[in-house]
């Protein structure tokens, strides 16, 4: 364990600290989180696979309604605030509210033994942020150790932090109404002081997606694309592909491919040097995880990995099928738990851009080859379904338009992200594909095996040689046959007993697209894109 000067905490207003464990080793984290005497959500349980499991209480997914950003001189004119015309998750908080929640966090974290973890967000040295997490729960220190890029040397450790996260998951905001907050739970960002406060939620994802939101704020302002996508490349570190998708659509599953090197499973930047990961680990869903069909993720679940909300018997036996706590059961692991990873977590510009959409209506083809105009239209639309569990209150697949396939994490207007992405794609001649990892006319979700076959065909180039046809209303170009993929699913109409059933649902979906896109038609660029969207 590296040295840490406790007086630094006093500078932050945290006093009476009895002990600090600074960037504890995995050995120390294990000992701390399984220590005798721990109770409740502090307590970790060692499982049969060697990984420790923890429970996170009421919050087992993100809580977007409790996300706030301090509305001040810096954020006021830059942040894409929620409005009546276009609701999003960027709720404004007053400076008084910030002072109050910061006070709650300071009080909660004072007079305690603390864990301080410094990690990096961003694999590129010139644009990374050094993030300092101050937590009182051992496994939270473990979580951020897994998910952020671990410092490599003394110089890394000595660097001043660029951002500080105070996790006060044990505290509550009693006077939340007075402060203009949504509940006793609060996740509040201050882009001026570069701090985040977390109150009353233990969900690990709140810590990683919080910093993703901040990268989404700072990077596009520097001309770097910031993307809710996974990324991998070939075994020579070339031919990068990126996979956009909202939670549960398959970013982690599909980028973890034994034939390719993983760059990262969730958050990436794209600058003039190429695509780079923000994170040092992965955060996979483990509901119904099957050893045979997802061996790499399964094998990553070993000592140093951290399970969340998984059902574990007293003897450590894991039941991955049990959803009684949540469907959003998770595991975080350092990226080196995957065999094939790209050294340095960065690779040249992407050649293929894949939009993963889990269509709960069963309308979208399993794969469509997009034109450049369709690429912009479908990226801005971000149509998909929210899957059960990842957000509070979502209990079944719920169709949604999540701009740029990650609306909950966008701090600037969606068109900014679209501009940056398209600029990079055009410069590098990248092509885009829309892949439906959701449902079709059979009423079942498209199989992982078929989707993997589709991804192989995209990455290997077979899709460019395949015969194609057009799908009405959406004018999608789809292949009529692909090696390794069930031919009967490629045209979604064939998956219905009667194509008229598809037609009816397609009309409904097309109308939703048109209605959703109206918000982008305020300027010429937006208006021009309408032609690339579905037509009734
Ligand atoms: N056709 C499919 N493609 C990808 N994932 C699928 C498919 N069908 C079912 N799944 C399941 O959906 C979930 C996808 O989750 P994950 O890869 O973690 O998504 P993300 O990383 O985008 O949040 C996994 O539990 C996976 O087993
Ligand atoms: C961790 C999350 O997302 P993803 O499933 O995309 O990793 C989340 O939305 O809380
Ligand atoms: Mn994921």
Contact 135, 105 (CB under 8 A): no
Percent of the chain with pLDDT over 90: 95
- The per-residue pLDDT for 1 is 58
What pLDDT, in 10s, does the model give residues 28-86?
999 999 999 999 999 999 999 999 999 999 999 999 999 999 999 999 999 999 999 89
Contact 114, 277 (CB under 8 A): no
Asked if 209 is an active-site residue, the reply is yes
Contact 227, 242 (CB under 8 A): yes
Q: What is the mean pLDDT of residues 374-398?
A: 90
Q: Give the ligand whose atoms come closest to the C-alpha of residue 205.
A: 2
- The per-residue pLDDT for 391 is 85
**Predicted confidence (pLDDT) at residue 362 exceeds the cutoff of 70:** yes
d(CA 255, CA 297): 11
Per-chain mean pLDDT for the chain: 96
The conformational region for residue 344 under phi > 0 = left, psi -120 to 50 = alpha, else beta, is left
- Cβ atoms < 10 Å from Cβ of 103: 12
d(CA 448, CA 250): 9
Q: Give the ligand whose atoms come closest to the C-alpha of residue 356.
A: 1
- Cβ atoms < 10 Å from Cβ of 163: 22
**Predicted confidence (pLDDT) at residue 17 exceeds the cutoff of 70:** yes
How far apart, in Å, are the Cα atoms of 34 and each of 60, 137, 187, 536? 21, 11, 27, 59
Q: Which two tokens stand for residue 360?
A: 């709960």
**Which strands form 113-121's sheet, in the order they lie side by side?**
19-22, 113-121, 129-135, 163-168, 195-199, 186-190, 67-70, 91-93
ipTM surpasses 0.95: yes
The answer on whether 245 is annotated among ligand-binding residues is: yes
State in Å: Cα 480 to ligand 3 middle.
30
The answer on whether 259 is annotated among ligand-binding residues is: no
Using the atom order of ligand 1, give the atom closest to the CA of residue 438.
Answer: 1
Widest CA span of the chain, in angstroms?
A: 71
Asked if 62 is an active-site residue, the reply is yes
pLDDT band at residue 387, thresholds of 50, 70 and 90?
confident
Q: Give the ligand whose atoms come closest to the C-alpha of residue 64.
A: 2
- The per-residue pLDDT for 151 is 96
Work out whether strand 67-70 and strand 91-93 pair parallel, antiparallel, or are unpaired: parallel
Asked if 302 is an active-site residue, the reply is no
What pLDDT, in 10s, does the model give residues 264-284?
999 999 999 999 999 999 999
The answer on whether 449 is annotated among ligand-binding residues is: no
Q: What is the dihedral of CA 419, 424, 426, 429, to 10 degrees?
A: -150
- The per-residue pLDDT for 3 is 80
d(CA 329, CA 322): 9
Burial class of residue 505, CB neighbours in 10 A (0-12, 13-18, 19+): middle
209 lines ligand 2 (CB under 6 A): yes
d(CA 129, CA 197): 17
Contact 338, 282 (CB under 8 A): yes
Asked if 447 is an active-site residue, the reply is no
247 lines ligand 2 (CB under 6 A): yes
**Predicted confidence (pLDDT) at residue 2 exceeds the cutoff of 80:** no
Percent of the chain with pLDDT over 70: 100
Using the atom order of ligand 1, give the atom closest to the CA of residue 445.
Answer: 8
The answer on whether 490 is annotated among ligand-binding residues is: no
- The per-residue pLDDT for 398 is 87
Contact 444, 451 (CB under 8 A): no
330 lines ligand 2 (CB under 6 A): no
d(CA 296, CA 284): 11
Q: Which two tokens stand for residue 191?
A: 């882009």
d(CA 397, CA 123): 34
**DSSP 8-state assignment for residue 370:** P
Asked if 7 is an active-site residue, the reply is no
CB under 6 Å to ligand 1: residues? Answer: 245, 247-254, 284-285, 287, 437, 445-448, 451
Using the atom order of ligand 2, give the atom closest to the CA of residue 248.
Answer: 5
Give every CB contact of residue 30 below 8 A, 6+ residues apart in sequence. 52, 142, 303, 304
Q: Which two tokens stand for residue 383?
A: 């149509």
Residue 415: HSE in the Cβ half-sphere, 13 Å Cα cutoff = 11
What pLDDT, in 10s, does the model give residues 111-136?
999 999 999 999 999 999 999 999 99
Ligand 1, atom 11, lies closest to the CA of 250
State in Å: Cα 437 to ligand 1 middle.
8
Q: What is the mean pLDDT of residues 377-388?
A: 93
- Model-level pTM? 0.97
Q: What is the DSSP string of 472-525?
A: TTTTEEEES--TTS-GGGSSGGGGSSSHHHHHHHHHHHHHHHHHHHGGGTTSHH
226 lines ligand 2 (CB under 6 A): no
What pLDDT, in 10s, does the model give residues 155-183?
999 999 999 999 999 999 999 999 999 99
State in Å: Cα 510 to ligand 3 middle.
28
Burial class of residue 172, CB neighbours in 10 A (0-12, 13-18, 19+): middle
The answer on whether 369 is annotated among ligand-binding residues is: no
- The per-residue pLDDT for 373 is 97
Which helix (H) or strand (E) segment holds residue 130: the answer is strand 129-135
3-state secondary structure of 448: helix
- Given ligand 1 and candidates 232, 248, 440, which is best to mutate, with the most ligand atoms within 8 Å of its CB? 248
φ, ψ dihedrals at 390, nearest 5°: -75, -25
- The per-residue pLDDT for 393 is 87
H helix intervals, 53-165? 95-109, 138-147, 154-158
State in Å: Cα 390 to ligand 2 middle.
7
Using the atom order of ligand 2, give the atom closest to the CA of residue 284.
Answer: 7
Which helix (H) or strand (E) segment holds residue 455: the answer is helix 448-460
d(CA 327, CA 477): 34
441 lines ligand 2 (CB under 6 A): no
What pLDDT, in 10s, does the model give residues 444-501?
999 999 999 999 999 999 999 999 999 999 999 999 999 999 999 999 999 999 999 9
Q: What is the mean pLDDT of residues 206-211?
A: 98
Q: From the candidates 252, 368, 384, 390, give the one annotated as an active-site residue.
A: 252
How far apart, in Å, are the Cα atoms of 364 and each of 360, 361, 406? 9, 8, 19
What pLDDT, in 10s, does the model give residues 319-358?
999 999 999 999 999 999 999 999 999 999 999 999 999 9
Contact 371, 263 (CB under 8 A): no
- Given ligand 2 and candidates 187, 266, 331, which is best to mutate, with the most ligand atoms within 8 Å of its CB? 266
Q: What is the mean pLDDT of residues 12-17?
A: 97
Size of the chain, expressed as the number of residues it contains: 536
d(CA 435, CA 335): 25
Q: Which two tokens stand for residue 441?
A: 């006319």
The answer on whether 176 is annotated among ligand-binding residues is: no
Asked if 260 is an active-site residue, the reply is no
Asked if 252 is an active-site residue, the reply is yes
Strand partners, 163: 131
State in Å: Cα 448 to ligand 1 middle.
8
**Predicted confidence (pLDDT) at residue 531 exceeds the cutoff of 90:** yes
pLDDT band at residue 388, thresholds of 50, 70 and 90?
confident
- The per-residue pLDDT for 529 is 95
- The per-residue pLDDT for 440 is 96
């Amino acid at each position: 364990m590296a040295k840490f000067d406790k007086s630094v905490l006093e500078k932050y207003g945290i006093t009476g600290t009895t002990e600090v464990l600074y960037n504890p080793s995995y050995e120390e984290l294990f000992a701390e989180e399984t220590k005798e005497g721990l109770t409740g959500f502090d307590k970790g349980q060692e499982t049969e696979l060697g990984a420790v499991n923890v429970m996170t209480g009421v919050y087992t997914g993100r809580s977007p309604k409790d996300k706030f950003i301090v509305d001040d001189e810096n954020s006021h004119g830059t942040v894409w605030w929620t409005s009546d015309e276009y609701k999003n998750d960027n709720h404004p908080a007053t400076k008084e509210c910030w002072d109050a929640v910061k006070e709650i966090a300071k009080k909660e974290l004072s007079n305690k033994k603390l864990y301080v973890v410094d990690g990096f967000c961003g694999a590129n040295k010139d644009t990374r942020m050094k993030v300092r997490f101050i937590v009182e729960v051992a496994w939270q220190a473990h979580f951020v150790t897994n998910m952020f890029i671990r410092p490599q040397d003394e110089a890394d450790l000595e660097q001043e932090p660029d951002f500080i996260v105070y996790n006060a998951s044990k505290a509550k905001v009693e006077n939340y109404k007075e402060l203009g907050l949504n509940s006793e739970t609060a996740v509040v960002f201050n882009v001026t002081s570069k701090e985040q406060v977390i109150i009353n939620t233990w969900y690990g994802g709140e810590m990683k997606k919080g910093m993703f939101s901040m990268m989404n704020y700072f990077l596009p302002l520097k001309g770097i694309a910031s993307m809710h996508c996974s990324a991998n490349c070939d075994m020579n570190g070339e031919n990068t592909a990126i996979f956009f998708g909202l939670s549960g659509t398959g970013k982690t599953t599909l980028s973890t491919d034994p034939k390719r090197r993983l760059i990262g499973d969730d958050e990436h930047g794209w600058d003039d040097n190429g695509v780079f990961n923000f994170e040092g680990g992965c955060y996979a869903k483990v509901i119904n995880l099957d050893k045979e069909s997802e061996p790499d993720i399964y094998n990553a679940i070993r000592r140093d990995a951290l399970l969340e909300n998984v059902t574990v018997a007293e003897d450590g036996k894991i039941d991955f099928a049990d959803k009684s706590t949540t469907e959003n059961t998770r595991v975080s692991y350092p990226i080196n738990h995957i065999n094939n990873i790209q050294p340095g977590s960065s690779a040249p510009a992407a050649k293929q851009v894949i939009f993963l959409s889990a269509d709960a209506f069963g309308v979208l083809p399993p794969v469509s080859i997009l034109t450049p105009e369709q690429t912009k239209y479908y990226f801005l639309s971000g149509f998909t379904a929210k899957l059960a569990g990842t957000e509070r209150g979502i209990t079944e697949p719920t169709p949604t338009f999540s701009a740029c396939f990650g609306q909950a994490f966008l701090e600037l207007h969606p068109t900014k992200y679209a501009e940056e992405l398209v600029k990079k794609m055009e410069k590098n001649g990248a092509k885009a594909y829309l892949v439906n990892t959701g449902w079709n006319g059979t009423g079942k979700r498209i199989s992982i095996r078929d989707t993997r076959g589709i991804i192989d065909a995209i990455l290997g180039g077979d899709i460019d040689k395949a015969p194609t046809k057009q799908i009405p209303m959406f004018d999608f170009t789809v292949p009529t046959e692909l090696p390794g993929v069930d031919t009967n699913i490629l045209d979604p109409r064939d998956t219905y007993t009667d194509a008229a059933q598809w037609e009816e649902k397609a009309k409904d979906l097309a109308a939703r697209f048109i209605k959703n896109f109206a918000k982008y038609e305020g300027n010429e660029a937006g208006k021009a894109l309408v032609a690339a969207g579905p037509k009734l």
